[in-house]
């Protein structure tokens, strides 16, 4: 098992390399000029622009540029971000934690809600409860996340006379007076700002997971060993939770890794609307301003987060399911 | 207090009365067009005397982008200069109401009779925020070691202070006097002295070890930013906020001798989305907002319940214009023009451009895109930019029939009945029309233009492009574009925008970096600008720039559309708010206090 | 009929709580899409600037106190009040009759058949009937929704077809041949999964030139969206192909001398069909949503063409919610279509899943 994991980790290196190379090509081939804003500024002379160009080798062929980037990347120097006028590493580092926090919380809430709902739906298949649950969980999946976010933001504003609602911040990560708050005040403030984005993301991710856990539970419940357990007189709740659930969970764990990736992607637009400073909105902004080094750096980060997510999922799987171990 | 309420009452009365009176009239003072009495507003602003306020409190603003750096010399972003202007000041500053230069760090100045030698007398007693005395040596240092330092890049100030390749001679005569010797009379000189002055004692070592370009970035500890300005940086939290705190050593005092500014802090909340910003303002999370026309009704109606006031302050400085590719550059490899020569013949045809100008439905652009709160723009400058603006330029009312006739005159007609025009040679009039994505207002204006061009019989391919991609196309061979809708923010002194108007300029968008002016009128504009920069008689200078605006309206290299109304909202908690058409609401920030 | 009653799969499909309503909704949407030119009273680019942001037309049955069997509307105009709010005024002197099968603009059904009559509308051309209100330049929202459905509802199918092709091709080869080919292909597939999809979408879109016609943009968007989705599908097909390859009938086919290509295409892939159908139905929503995301950042279908995505993205602001909420209706249509596809997909899965007995 360990060997498999190590092999997987090693394989991901050339994969990342290939992906980074392809990405680099695309960015470079794209029409557009990373130094556009310098050229467009009436106060900057063209000599200045030329100097910047040669410093970052923008005037050399693509492969050479990639080589330079790779060499620096191996030294943990991901280059300089032109759109933010700061080193790429520092720009990403700030965002990484924020995205992580948002992703973890979303995953926790999604699981905490979706799995029980899935179990309920499976146990009471085709009942009205199942139908209603189906309907509501699909609801979340069917609205574009950014649209839902805007509507929620507006509703929070419209309901500002209701004390509960007026306490929920619209966007941002911390309040303007964050510094003045007590230690606990700061924690409460951060949590309050997380409410809106986590709700929107959870609603979006809920349905998929609920549906799959429902499906898996149904499958498990049909199996022989369940009938046997019931025949043996085991109480129903032990049958469901002690046996069926444990097996139904397995496929869900493998999804864990993909959740990271999809949270990174799906969250980009949402992050912009609720002003959550995460990796998603950073990548979007970077691609739009064709900030080559920032794009490369964030893409690398995204890829690494996905690999980490997959590996964690595999480890969890090994812990949860002894069958996987013996291979 | 009463005075303020009275003035608001007067304004609203004036608004209601004038609403029915004025339509889209074409007064000499186009500020009357949308029914508010701006004359009264300006008089009131000029007569305003700040009250004695009290210390304390904070003002919460919002901004869309993070500061990219805190270095006023190397930075190119407008947001950065907005932030650094809290900390660093110039010898001279612009009066918030009249936009005229007035004494700041310099108390007074003498000009030699030939206008070439300027001697500034430094205001005594000014201290840097670390208690060091401010002196003329700091000014000398700023210019000789920072602005003119070739090793510091990028350096927007250097390009501003280098005129026709020559630099100014800057010398500190003593600790309180600094002298500038210009190579030739430079009319915009006084306005250019808004240039931020940086402390010699603090930054000299960075210049000596060659690291200045990388200094004062966003990671800099606030204590490193030593300035003379009213506020100092307290904290910067990336993508969240920028906090400025009062500078206790700031030199300016109110009429009772209290030290300014009154506010303890100014906090910028960084928002990424206009909706979020609007909702935050309405909920009171943010104190100040610059709003769009379509948000005006919702904001205005909730004024009393939200405890804020909405001000309309006339046409803004941002312009939106349409232009065509007139580039005559030739491809050295192939020998012919980069741009398709048939299309070039259309775009370089003045009557073609005039026809297009008549096809701009400005009234509906204002009504639909700006919710009625905007102004048609005819001139290359906006009235809010001050004295160099003239409204006496050629205007092109919306008239599709006239546009069609003009085109017919030039041989454009629908000869094959397919609904589209063909030119004299039978080629269908068809081109791409691009604007940058991310600007909803511009997109909506583009949509209206596209539809009108279609009804003229022109086949238009509308496309949105990322800003960077668009600029790259405009700026580089093969100049693969036809018609573009873009915008710029205006400048008070036309000279500072010369890169757009000089035929050799890099921002001469329809045909940049010409080796020689390609038309007589472009040559005329070149000569106007080179005369204007040296003309010291202000009245004569105004005439020069009036003529430039007239030529632009005649020749239409840029066809202007509409400009939005400036709508500012601020919480009623603040006193000493003096709304000004040219300065907005926060031009006298040092005097603003929490009531 | 007997087929429908007795077929086991159909029964299971019908048993699913929401599959049937989903199918009905899709049926309606696709019907509207097919007959767009007939159903829409106006074209997708027919603006009328005086009617900017007009609310949905009010239908009246009483004019001057007299009842009229045929419903009618009054022409509207608007002015700005002191708050610059639009105040709409009905011109009660000119009733315009609303009728079915009315003569309107001449359009060509499917671009070929010229028709003059539309499902409903106003005979009197001087005024307009806005069923769901008008947008900023006075275009009929309902007409634009109808024409927009052509883009939004077809993007999914074509995209899914491309994904399926790639998935079957690579997954099939990988699973059947195994070994080194499998290893290389799977690692290659994983590369695509490594990059977050949205980002890949952006990078691809920005790599393409600007002078694209609407059709080209459409194809480009479809291609990009399918390049994102194929990897996951390919992996599953590969897994299935791997296990199916070990079955007897495949060994038999090989022994009989069938070529790899033949075996994959005619023996292995058909076994994956039920999974494939379900998977494809369930991934169509991603295309519809992806198209709206691209429009939000300005890289989607361009004006004046209408797609539900670009209509929604133009409506994403607070003033619209407050003052002209009908602009947000495209969001509801997206929602309906996506929900419907999900229900149908689920129903199909219940019906076709070989694991269920």
pLDDT tens sequence across B431-448: 989 998 778 899 899 999
CA angle C346, C350, C353 (to 5 degrees): 115
Nearest by Cα to A16 from A309, A304, A314? A304
Pairing of strands B101-103, B92-94: antiparallel
pLDDT, mean of residues C340-354:
79
Starting at the edge strand that comes first in sequence, how are the strands of the sheet with B459-465 ordered?
Answer: B459-465, B430-436, B483-489, B318-324, B559-560
CB contact under 8 Å between C194 and A306, yes or no, is: yes
How far B418 CA sits from the closest chain C CA (Å)?
A: 16
- pLDDT at position B11: 36
Out of B275, B368, B463, closest to residue C302 by CB: B463
Structure confidence at residue C204 as a pLDDT band (50, 70, 90): low
- pLDDT at position B209: 87
Residues B397-419 have pLDDT tens digits of 999 999 999 999 999 988 888 88
- pLDDT at position C26: 92
Domains of chain C: 57-129 (no CATH), 155-352 (1.10.3720.10)
Which residues does chain B have within 8 Å of residue C43's beta carbon, measured at their own beta carbons?
Answer: none
- pLDDT at position B8: 37
CB contact under 8 Å between B295 and C84, yes or no, is: no
- pLDDT at position A124: 76
> Mean pLDDT highest for which of B357-366, C91-100, C300-309?
B357-366
CB contact under 8 Å between C206 and A287, yes or no, is: yes
Contacts of A128 (CB under 8 A, 6+ apart): none
Which residues does chain B have within 8 Å of residue C52's beta carbon, measured at their own beta carbons?
Answer: 364, 367-368
Which residues does chain C have within 8 Å of residue B298's beta carbon, measured at their own beta carbons?
Answer: 318-319, 322-323
Residues B307-337 have pLDDT tens digits of 999 999 999 999 999 999 999 988 888 888 8
Chains in contact with chain B (at least 3 beta-carbon pairs closer than 8 A):
A, C
C-facing residues of A in 21-50 (CB < 8 A) are 22-23, 26-27, 29-32
How many Å from the N-terminal Cα to the C-terminal Cα in chain A? Answer: 7
Out of A44, A169, A289, closest to residue B76 by CB: A44
- What is the C-alpha to C-alpha distance for residues C226 and A202, in angstroms, rounded to an integer? 25
- pLDDT at position B5: 39
Structure confidence at residue A165 as a pLDDT band (50, 70, 90): confident
pLDDT, mean of residues C175-180:
79
CB B253 within 8 A of CB B582: no
Structure confidence at residue A254 as a pLDDT band (50, 70, 90): low
- pLDDT at position B14: 36
One pLDDT digit (tens) per residue for chain B, 595 residues: 444 433 333 333 333 333 333 333 333 334 444 567 788 888 889 999 999 999 999 999 999 887 878 888 887 666 778 899 999 999 999 998 988 999 999 999 999 988 899 999 999 999 999 999 999 999 999 999 999 988 887 777 887 788 778 889 999 999 999 999 999 888 899 999 999 999 999 999 999 988 888 788 877 899 989 999 999 999 988 778 899 999 999 999 999 999 999 999 999 998 878 888 898 898 888 999 999 999 999 899 989 888 999 999 999 999 999 999 999 988 888 888 888 889 999 999 999 999 999 999 999 999 999 999 999 999 999 988 888 999 999 999 999 999 999 999 999 988 888 889 998 888 999 998 999 877 889 989 999 999 999 989 998 888 888 777 788 788 888 888 999 999 988 888 998 888 899 998 878 999 988 989 999 999 999 999 989 988 888 899 999 999 999 999 999 999 999 999 999 999 999 999 999 988 889 999 999 999 9
Nearest by Cα to A145 from B274, C192, C319, C285? C285
- pLDDT at position B3: 41
Structure confidence at residue A39 as a pLDDT band (50, 70, 90): low
How far C207 CA sits from the closest chain A CA (Å)?
A: 4
CB contact under 8 Å between B238 and A38, yes or no, is: no
A-facing residues of B in 463-482 (CB < 8 A) are 466-469, 471-473, 475-476
Sign of CA dihedral C257, C260, C263, C266: negative
What are residue C113's DSSP bridge partners?
A: C109
CA distances from B75 to A90, B57, B190, B195 (A): 19, 30, 22, 13
Which residues does chain C have within 8 Å of residue B19's beta carbon, measured at their own beta carbons?
Answer: 82
CA distances from B324 to A31, B486, B522 (A): 20, 11, 15
Structure confidence at residue A252 as a pLDDT band (50, 70, 90): confident
Which residues does chain B have within 8 Å of residue A86's beta carbon, measured at their own beta carbons?
Answer: 68, 217-219
DSSP A94: H
- pLDDT at position B126: 94
DSSP B183: S
Out of C85, C136, C302, closest to residue B444 by CB: C136
CB contact under 8 Å between A283 and C196, yes or no, is: yes
- What is the C-alpha to C-alpha distance for residues A67 and A70, in angstroms, rounded to an integer? 5
- pLDDT at position A261: 66
Which residues does chain B have within 8 Å of residue C325's beta carbon, measured at their own beta carbons?
Answer: none
CA distances from B354 to A172, B341, B382, C202, C301 (A): 48, 20, 21, 39, 31
Contacts of C153 (CB under 8 A, 6+ apart): C29, C30, C33, C288, C337
Choice among A280-289, C145-154, C333-342 with the minimum mean pLDDT:
A280-289
**Which of B67, B163, B240 would best serve as a mutation to test chain A binding (most A beta carbons within 10 A)?**
B240
Q: Is the pTM of this model over 0.80?
A: yes
Q: Is A144 on the interface with C (CB under 8 A)?
A: yes
Which residues does chain A have within 8 Å of residue C203's beta carbon, measured at their own beta carbons?
Answer: 23, 26-27, 30, 287, 295
Residue ranges, CATH 1.10.3720.10, chain A: 95-146+197-325
Q: Domain A95-146+197-325 is classified in which CATH homologous superfamily?
A: MetI-like (1.10.3720.10)
- What is the C-alpha to C-alpha distance for residues B211 and B454, in angstroms, rounded to an integer? 56
Structure confidence at residue C2 as a pLDDT band (50, 70, 90): low
- What is the C-alpha to C-alpha distance for residues B500 and B494, in angstroms, rounded to an integer? 10
Cβ burial of C177 (10 Å; 0-12, 13-18, 19+) is middle
CB contact under 8 Å between A287 and C342, yes or no, is: no
CA A81 to chain centre: 23
Which residues does chain A have within 8 Å of residue B275's beta carbon, measured at their own beta carbons?
Answer: 150, 153-154, 273
The residue count for chain C: 357
- pLDDT at position A215: 74
Which residues does chain C have within 8 Å of residue A12's beta carbon, measured at their own beta carbons?
Answer: 194
Out of A44, A273, A281, closest to residue B156 by CB: A44
> Mean pLDDT highest for which of A163-177, B476-490, C106-120?
B476-490
């Amino acid at each position: 098992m360990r060997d498999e994991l190590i092999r997987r980790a090693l394989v991901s290196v050339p994969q990342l390399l290939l992906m980074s190379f392809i990405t680099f090509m695309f960015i470079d081939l794209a029409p557009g000029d990373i130094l556009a804003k310098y050229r467009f500024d009436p106060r900057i002379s063209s000599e200045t622009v030329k100097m910047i160009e040669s410093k970052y080798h923008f005037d050399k062929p693509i492969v050479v540029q990639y080589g330079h980037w790779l060499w620096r990347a191996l030294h943990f120097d991901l280059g300089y971000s032109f759109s933010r006028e700061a080193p790429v590493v520092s720009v990403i580092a700030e965002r990484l934690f924020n995205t992580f926090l948002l992703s973890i919380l979303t995953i926790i809430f999604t699981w905490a809600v979706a799995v029980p709902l899935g179990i309920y739906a499976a146990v009471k298949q085709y009942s009205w409860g199942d139908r209603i649950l189906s309907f509501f969980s699909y609801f979340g999946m069917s609205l574009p996340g950014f649209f839902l976010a805007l509507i929620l933001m507006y509703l929070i504003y419209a309901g500002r006379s209701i004390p509960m609602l007026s306490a929920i911040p619209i966007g941002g990560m911390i309040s303007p007076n964050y510094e003045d708050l007590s230690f606990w005040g700061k924690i409460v403030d951060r949590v309050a700002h997380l409410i809106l984005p986590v709700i929107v993301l959870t609603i979006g991710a809920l349905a998929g997971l609920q549906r799959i856990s429902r499906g898996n539970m149904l499958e498990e419940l049909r199996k022989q060993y369940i009938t046997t357990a019931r025949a043996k007189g085991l109480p129903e709740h032990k049958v469901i939770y002690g046996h069926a659930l444990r097996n139904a969970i397995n496929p869900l764990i493998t999804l864990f890794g993909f959740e990271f990736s999809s949270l990174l992607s799906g969250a980009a637009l949402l992050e912009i609307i609720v002003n959550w400073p995460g990796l998603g909105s950073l990548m979007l902004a970077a691609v739009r301003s064709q900030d080559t080094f920032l794009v490369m750096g964030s893409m690398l980060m995204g890829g690494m987060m996905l690999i980490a997510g997959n590996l964690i999922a595999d480890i969890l799987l090994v812990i949860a399911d002894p069958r996987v171990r013996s291979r | 207090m009463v005075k303020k309420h009275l003035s608001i009452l007067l304004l609203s009365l004036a608004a209601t009365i004038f609403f029915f009176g004025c339509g889209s009239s074409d007064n000499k003072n186009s500020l009357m067009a949308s029914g508010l009495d701006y004359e009264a507003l300006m008089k009131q602003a000029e007569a305003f005397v700040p009250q004695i306020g009290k210390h304390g409190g904070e003002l919460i603003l919002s901004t869309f982008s993070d500061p990219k750096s805190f270095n006023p010399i190397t930075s190119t972003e407008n947001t950065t200069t907005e932030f650094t202007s809290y900390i660093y000041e110039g010898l001279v500053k612009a009066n918030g109401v009249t936009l005229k230069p007035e004494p700041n760090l310099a108390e007074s100045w003498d000009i030699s009779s030939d206008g070439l030698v300027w001697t500034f007398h430094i205001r005594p007693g000014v201290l840097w925020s670390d208690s060091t005395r401010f002196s003329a040596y700091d000014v000398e240092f700023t210019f000789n070691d920072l602005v003119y330092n070739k090793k510091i890049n990028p350096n927007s100030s250097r390009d501003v202070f280098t005129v026709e390749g020559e630099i100014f001679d800057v010398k500190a005569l003593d600790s309180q006097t600094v002298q500038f010797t210009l190579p030739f009379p430079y009319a915009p000189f006084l306005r250019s002295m808004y240039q931020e002055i940086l402390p010699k004692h603090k930054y000299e070592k960075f210049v000596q070890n060659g690291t200045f370009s990388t200094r004062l970035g966003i990671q800099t500890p606030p204590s490193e930013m030593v300035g003379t300005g009213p506020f100092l940086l307290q904290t910067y939290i990336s993508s969240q906020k920028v906090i400025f705190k009062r500078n206790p050593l700031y030199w300016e005092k109110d009429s009772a001798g209290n030290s300014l500014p009154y506010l303890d802090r100014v906090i910028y909340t960084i928002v990424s989305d206009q909706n979020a910003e609007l909702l935050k303002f309405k909920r009171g999370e943010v104190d100040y907002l610059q709003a769009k026309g379509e948000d005006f009704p919702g904001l205005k109606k909730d004024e009393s319940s939200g405890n804020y006031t909405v001000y309309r302050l006339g046409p803004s400085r941002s312009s939106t214009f349409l232009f065509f590719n007139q580039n005559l550059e030739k491809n050295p490899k192939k020998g012919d023009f980069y741009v398709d020569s048939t299309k070039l013949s259309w775009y370089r045809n003045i009557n073609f451009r005039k026809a297009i100008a008549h096809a701009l439905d400005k009234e509906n652009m204002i009504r639909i895109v700006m919710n009625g709160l905007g102004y048609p723009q005819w001139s290359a400058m906006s009235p809010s930019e001050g004295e160099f603006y003239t409204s006496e330029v050629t205007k092109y009312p919306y008239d599709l029939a006239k546009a069609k006739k003009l085109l017919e005159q030039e041989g454009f007609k629908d000869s094959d009945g397919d609904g589209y025009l063909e030119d004299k040679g039978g080629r269908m009039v068809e081109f791409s029309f691009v604007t940058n994505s991310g600007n909803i207002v511009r997109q909506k204006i583009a949509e209206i233009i596209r539809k009108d061009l279609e009804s003229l019989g022109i086949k238009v391919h509308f496309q949105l492009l990322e800003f960077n991609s668009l600029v790259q196309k405009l700026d580089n061979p093969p100049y693969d574009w036809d018609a573009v809708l873009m915008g710029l923010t205006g400048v008070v002194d036309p000279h500072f925008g010369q890169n757009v108007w000089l035929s050799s300029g890099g921002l001469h968008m329809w045909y940049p970096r010409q080796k020689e002016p390609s038309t007589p009128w472009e040559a005329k504009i070149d000569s106007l600008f080179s005369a204007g920069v040296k003309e010291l008689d202000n009245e004569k200078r105004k005439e020069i720039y009036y003529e430039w605006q007239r030529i632009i309206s005649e020749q239409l290299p840029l066809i202007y559309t509409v400009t939005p109304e400036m709508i500012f909202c601020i919480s009623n908690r603040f006193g000493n708010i003096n709304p000004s058409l040219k300065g907005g609401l926060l031009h006298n920030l040092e005097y603003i206090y929490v009531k | 009929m007997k087929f429908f009653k007795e077929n086991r799969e159909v029964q299971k499909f019908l048993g699913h709580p929401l599959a049937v309503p989903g199918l009905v909704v899709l049926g309606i949407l696709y019907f509207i899409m097919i007959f767009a030119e007939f159903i829409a009273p106006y074209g997708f680019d027919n603006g009328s600037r005086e009617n900017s942001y007009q609310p949905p037309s009010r239908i009246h049955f009483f004019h001057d106190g007299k009842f009229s069997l045929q419903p009618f509307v009054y022409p509207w105009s608007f002015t700005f009040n002191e708050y610059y709010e639009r105040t709409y005024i009905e011109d009660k002197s000119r009733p315009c009759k609303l009728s079915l099968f009315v003569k309107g603009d001449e359009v060509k059904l499917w671009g070929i058949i010229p028709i003059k009559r539309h499902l409903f509308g106003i005979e009197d051309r001087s005024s307009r009937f806005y069923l769901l209100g008008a947008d900023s330049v006075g275009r009929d929202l309902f007409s634009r929704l109808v024409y927009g459905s052509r883009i939004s509802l077809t993007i999914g199918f074509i995209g899914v077809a491309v994904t399926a092709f790639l998935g079957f091709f690579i997954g099939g080869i990988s699973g059947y041949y195994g070994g080194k080919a499998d290893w290389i292909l799977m690692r290659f597939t994983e590369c695509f999964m490594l990059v977050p999809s949205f980002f890949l979408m952006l990078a691809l879109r920005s790599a393409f030139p600007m002078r694209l016609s609407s059709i080209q943009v459409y194809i480009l968007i479809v291609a990009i969206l399918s390049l994102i989705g194929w990897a996951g599908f390919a992996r599953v097909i590969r897994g299935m192909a791997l296990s199916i390859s070990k079955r007897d009938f495949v060994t038999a086919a090989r022994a009989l001398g069938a070529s790899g290509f033949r075996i994959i295409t005619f023996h292995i892939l058909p076994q994956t069909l039920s999974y494939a159908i379900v998977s494809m139905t369930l991934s169509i929503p991603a295309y519809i949503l992806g198209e709206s995301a691209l429009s939000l950042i300005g890289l989607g279908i361009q004006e004046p063409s209408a797609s539900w995505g670009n209509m929604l993205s133009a409506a994403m602001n607070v003033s619209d919610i407050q003052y002209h909420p009908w602009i947000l209706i495209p969001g509801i249509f997206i929602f309906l279509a996506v929900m419907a596809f999900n229900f149908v997909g689920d129903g199909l899965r219940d019906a076709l899943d070989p694991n269920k007995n």
